């Protein structure tokens, strides 16, 4: 399942780091961050609850870039 989230982040490199952090979160199959559209597209692994996974994704993103936001 794929879902798109609106994000807020200031620099392109930070967006890359968020992408990496989201990808490495458990339950996430693949993630892409589109810095220009300020969007994060997350593909979840089967049987995962997007809401719970996204909480972890946000936590991991905050770790790599404190100044970011994902609008869940």
Partner 1 sequence: MNKKQKKMLIRIIIAAVLIVVFSLLPAEGYLRFVLFMIPYLVIGYDILKKAFKGILNKQVFDENFLMAVATVGAILLGDYSEGVAVMLFYQIGELFQSYAVGKSRRNISELMDIRPDYANIEKDGTLEQVDPDEVEIGTIIVVQPGEKVPIDGVITEGTSTLNTSALTGESLPRDAKAGDEVISGCINMTGLLKIRTTKEFGESTVSKILELVENSSSRKSKSENFISKFAKYYTPAVCYGALALAFIPPIVLLIMGKSAMWGDWIYRALTFLVISCPCALVISIPLSFFAGIGGASNQGILVKGSNYLETLAQTKYVVFDKTGTMTQGVFEVSGIHHNKMPDEKLLEYAALAECSSSHPISKSLQKAYGKPIDRNRVTDIEEISGNGVIAKVDGVSVAAGNTKLMNRLGIAYQDCHHVGTVVHMAIDGKYAGHILISDIIKPHAKEAIAELKKAGISKTVMLTGDSKRVADQVAGELGIQEVYSELLPADKVSRVEELLNQKSEKAKLAFVGDGINDAPVLSRADIGIAMGALGSDAAIEAADIVLMDDDPLKISKAIKIARKCIRIVYENIYFAIGIKILCLILGALGIANMWVAIFADVGVMILAVLNAIRTLFVKNL
Where on the chain is the footprint of partner 1 (CB under 8 A)?
Answer: 4, 10-14, 16-17, 32, 34-39, 41, 63-64, 66-67
- Which CB atom, from 46 or from 66, has the smaller least distance to partner 1? 66
CB of 8 to partner 1, least distance (A): 10
- Which CB atom, from 43 or from 49, has the smaller least distance to partner 1? 43
CB of 33 to partner 1, least distance (A): 8
CB of 23 to partner 1, least distance (A): 12
Cβ–Cβ under 8 Å, residues 29 and 45: yes
Q: Which residue is it, tokens 């609106």? A: 6
Q: How far apart are CA 4 and CA 18, in angstroms?
A: 14
Closest to 9 (Cα-Cα) out of 18, 72, 21: 18
Cβ–Cβ under 8 Å, residues 2 and 43: yes
């Amino acid at each position: 399942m794929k879902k798109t989230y609106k994000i807020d982040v200031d620099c392109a490199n930070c967006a890359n780091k968020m992408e990496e952090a989201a990808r490495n979160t458990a339950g996430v199959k693949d993630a892409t961050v589109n810095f220009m559209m300020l969007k994060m597209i997350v593909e979840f692994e089967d049987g995962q609850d997007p809401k719970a996974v996204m909480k972890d994704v946000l936590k991991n993103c905050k770790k790599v870039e404190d100044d970011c936001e994902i609008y869940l």
